[in-house]
């Protein structure tokens, strides 16, 4: 049914099965809806599916080609829509007009999508009917209204403070060890962190979540060491994926997601292997997930960073025929309940399904120790890969989530060694962390000069007054920060993209292809940093 409706003073043509006004705004109901404004838009908002997926404002009508390599789509995007022919947004879309006002269309349920076509926003649910919010006003107003509506349907975080976190990833990458981390723990004395988090590399394999030989005292023994040092023990896991080399995969291949032909569904490529997704609709999988989280708690970890969670929402044939994001939310509910009152940070996760079930949420790609990779951003047109610019761009596009969850834009850097970021670029990351309200680093104290250590302490302890001036400008006390010069996407280079695609396709086993598949060069980073 199409009607001409007034939304906060803007006359639009809307289609839906049912309309009604509430305190939240105009609610549309239907599997398919659309909004057609009377004015031409100048920009459109693209919201990516999961933490690392591109989220930003684009000039109206601009389309983005599918990023490359294609085999990374399950790991970086929603693979069901990675090659969608029109500009696509997950759950929420918005149009900006010349006077700065914004028209928003946002789903109030899961498995929902929006596309832009000729100035019209069209939304649909993958299955069944659902509600949508239509709102018009300033950007801050409409996204605040949408966040409030989502809180009423999906929930929001507990009233706990955002922790200040030291994590091992950007210093040790996949090779932390008990002895080195113990020395780092001692070095952090007097620096006001709350959490000391062990990241990837402590486990026997992806899927086998027991300590490897580098942690001879066990993860429970190291948790006691962390607590004795005055910090909350934190641990990284990726509970919804496994690699073929793991015991879990070999012993329970039937637990994993399949497609309609009975083949395993790829969850991407990492750790030098193909990655596969568990099917959380299987009762045995849920029991295993619950037992795993209970084991983590019994070891003494009160902070859990759960990563690569997109796997629970990938398209595929499930044991129980329920929608894919509903399946993911089922897994998240089990993880949340089994962790009890531990702080839960989700990462690599579709955004809406995690709301109300986590305390913190990664809202952008990994920052890495460099600003941008020209190969990945300019040639492959991939903005989900690690890099400080990619992290800043997407994180800024998701700060409207702050009323619902602690927004984590990833770590910041204070060190001047083992880093290619300029002082300005490090400052932008630090300012973004203050604005987002979530602060962490991986810098080893032994890498910091006295001035850098002092700057880190001030960063962790400061509480400046933050005021949003416009989309990309903020005021921190009396200082203005402008991210706008760093947001625009580079122009496409079709010829170079084709050339690199031919290179990758022709050398699928080369070291460079594995680097692209990882999204970062784990091996060279580890060799370069840990030998210091």
Is the residue at 339 inside a domain? yes
Which pLDDT score, from 0 to 100, does residue 283 have?
Answer: 98
Give the span between the Cα atoms of 179 and 418, in whole angstroms.
Answer: 21
The total number of structural domains in the chain stands at 2
Tell me: do 30 and 61 sit in the same domain.
Answer: yes
**Centroid of chain to Cα 501:** 26
Please choose, from the candidates 331, 298, 142, the residue with its C-alpha nearest in 3D space to the C-alpha of residue 224: 298
CB-side exposure of 205: number of CA atoms within 13 Å? 14
Q: Which domain holds residue 32?
A: 2-154
Which pLDDT score, from 0 to 100, does residue 5 have?
Answer: 81
Give the span between the Cα atoms of 133 and 20, in whole angstroms.
Answer: 10
Tell me: do 202 and 150 sit in the same domain.
Answer: no
Give the span between the Cα atoms of 354 and 405, in whole angstroms.
Answer: 10
401's tokens? 């989530």
Which pLDDT score, from 0 to 100, does residue 384 have?
Answer: 97
Which pLDDT score, from 0 to 100, does residue 526 have?
Answer: 39
Which of residues 124, 154, 184 is at a domain's end?
Answer: 154
Tell me: do 256 and 366 sit in the same domain.
Answer: yes
Which pLDDT score, from 0 to 100, does residue 493 have?
Answer: 64
Query: What's the burial of 394, exposed, middle or buried (CB within 10 Å: 0-12/13-18/19+)?
Result: buried
Q: What is the CATH number of the domain that holds 525?
A: 3.20.20.70
| Helix, strand, or coil (residue 427) | helix
Tell me: do 94 and 195 sit in the same domain.
Answer: no
Tell me: do 211 and 339 sit in the same domain.
Answer: yes
| 75 close to 275: Cβ distance less than 8 angstroms | yes
Q: What is the 3-state secondary structure (H, E, C) of 299-345?
A: HCCCEEEECCHHHHHCCCECCCCCCHHHHHHHHHHHHHHHHCCCEEE
Which pLDDT score, from 0 to 100, does residue 498 have?
Answer: 54
Is the residue at 479 inside a domain? no
Tell me: do 42 and 184 sit in the same domain.
Answer: no
Is the residue at 323 inside a domain? yes
Give the span between the Cα atoms of 5 and 2, in whole angstroms.
Answer: 9
Cis preceding linkage at 69, omega within 30: yes
What are the average pLDDT values for consecutive 10-residue runs of the chain, which has 532 residues?
84 94 88 96 98 97 88 95 95 97 98 96 96 97 97 96 98 97 96 98 98 98 98 98 98 97 96 97 98 98 98 97 97 98 98 98 97 90 96 98 98 97 98 98 97 98 96 98 96 58 45 39 38 39
Task: Count the Cβ atoms, other than its own, within 10 Å of residue 247.
Answer: 13
Tell me: do 291 and 314 sit in the same domain.
Answer: yes
What pTM did the predictor assign?
Answer: 0.94
Is the residue at 526 inside a domain? yes
Is the residue at 286 inside a domain? yes
């Amino acid at each position: 049914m199409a009607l001409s409706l007034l939304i906060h003073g803007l006359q639009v043509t809307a289609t839906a099965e049912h309309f009604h006004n509430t305190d939240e705004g105009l609610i549309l109901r239907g599997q398919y809806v659309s909004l057609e404004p009377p004015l031409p838009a100048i920009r459109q908002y693209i919201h990516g599916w999961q933490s690392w997926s591109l989220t930003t404002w684009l000039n109206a009508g601009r389309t983005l080609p599918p990023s490359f390599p294609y085999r990374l789509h399950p790991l970086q995007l929603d693979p069901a829509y990675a090659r969608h022919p029109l500009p696509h947004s997950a759950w929420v879309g918005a149009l900006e007009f010349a006077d700065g006002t914004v028209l928003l269309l946002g789903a109030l349920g899961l498995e929902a999508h929006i596309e832009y076509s000729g100035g019209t926003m069209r939304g649909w649910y993958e299955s069944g009917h659902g509600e949508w919010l239509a709102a018009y006003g300033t950007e801050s107003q409409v996204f605040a209204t949408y966040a409030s509506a989502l809180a009423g349907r999906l929930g929001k975080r507990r009233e706990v403070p955002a922790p200040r976190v030291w994590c091992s990833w950007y210093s040790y990458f996949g090779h932390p060890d008990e002895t080195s981390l113990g020395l780092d723990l001692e070095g952090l004395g007097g620096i006001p962190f709350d959490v000391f988090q062990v990241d990837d590399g402590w486990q026997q394999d992806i899927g086998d979540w027991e300590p490897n030989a580098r942690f001879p005292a066990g993860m429970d023994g190291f948790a006691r060491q962390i607590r004795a040092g005055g910090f909350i023990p934190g641990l990284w896991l990726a509970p919804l994926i496994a690699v073929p080399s793991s015991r879990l995969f070999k012993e329970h291949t039937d637990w994993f997601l399949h497609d309609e032909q009975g083949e395993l569904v790829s969850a991407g490529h990492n750790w030098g292997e193909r990655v596969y997704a568990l099917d959380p609709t299987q009762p045995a999988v849920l029991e295993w997930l619950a037992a795993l989280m209970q084991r983590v708690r019994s070891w003494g970890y009160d902070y859990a960073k759960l990563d690569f969670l997109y796997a629970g929402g990938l398209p595929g044939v499930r044991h129980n025929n329920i929608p894919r994001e509903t399946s993911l939310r089922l897994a998240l509910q089990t993880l949340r309940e089994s962790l009890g009152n531990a702080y839960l940070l989700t990462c690599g996760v579709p955004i809406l399904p995690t709301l109300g079930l986590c305390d913190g949420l990664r809202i952008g790609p990994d920052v890495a120790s460099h600003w941008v990779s020209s190969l990945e951003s300019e040639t492959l047109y991939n903005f989900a890969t690690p890099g400080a610019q990619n992290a800043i761009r997407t994180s800024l596009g998701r700060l409207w989530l702050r009323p619902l969850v602690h927004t984590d834009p990833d770590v910041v850097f204070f060190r001047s060694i083992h880093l290619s970021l300029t002082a300005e670029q490090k400052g932008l990351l630090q300012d973004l962390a203050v604005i987002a309200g979530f602060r962490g680093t991986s810098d080893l104290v032994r890498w910091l000069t006295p001035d850098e250590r002092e700057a880190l302490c001030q960063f962790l302890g400061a509480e400046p007054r933050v005021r949003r001036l416009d989309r990309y400008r903020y005021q921190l006390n009396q200082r203005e920060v402008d991210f706008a010069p760093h947001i625009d996407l580079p122009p496409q280079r079709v010829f170079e993209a084709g050339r690199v695609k031919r290179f990758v396709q022709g050398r699928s086993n080369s070291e460079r292809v594995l680097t692209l598949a990882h999204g970062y060069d784990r091996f060279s980073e580890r060799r370069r940093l840990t030998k210091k």
